[in-house]
Amino acid sequence: MSTTINKEFDARIKKVQRNHLRMARGYDAKVGRDGLIVFRPKRRRPSLPLRSLALLLVAFFAFKIFVLMQIGDLAYQARIDAMMDGSLPVQLGAYALQIDPLMRIVATQLAPFF
């Protein structure tokens, strides 16, 4: 009998702890018809990590610019042309790595420093 009581008690403790963790992330207070204030955890929808995506995009463009500065325009374009003859995923990568006008401008501006 004591093990059954302990299991029920442990289950109630887990429920209270889980509810506490959810309430720590935010809650809404609502007043019921009887005047009782009830606190419920807010539902959190997974948000898009915009900062991480922006950082990844900046790192990608910085990598493209760095490689262009290191090997030069002609060698870079030759490698992109070679990639265009590959499979579909390789062709998509070649399309993403193409030299764009902004990349060329930034690379020429930064070239004296490297």
Looking at residue 54, its pLDDT comes to: 94
The residues spanned by each domain of the chain are 2-41, 50-113
Looking at residue 2, its pLDDT comes to: 65
pLDDT tens track for 88-112 = 999 999 999 999 999 999 988 988 8
Q: Which residues contact 39 (CB under 8 A, 6 or more apart)?
A: 23, 27, 28, 29
- % of residues, the chain, pLDDT over 70: 97
Q: Which residues contact 66 (CB under 8 A, 6 or more apart)?
A: 114
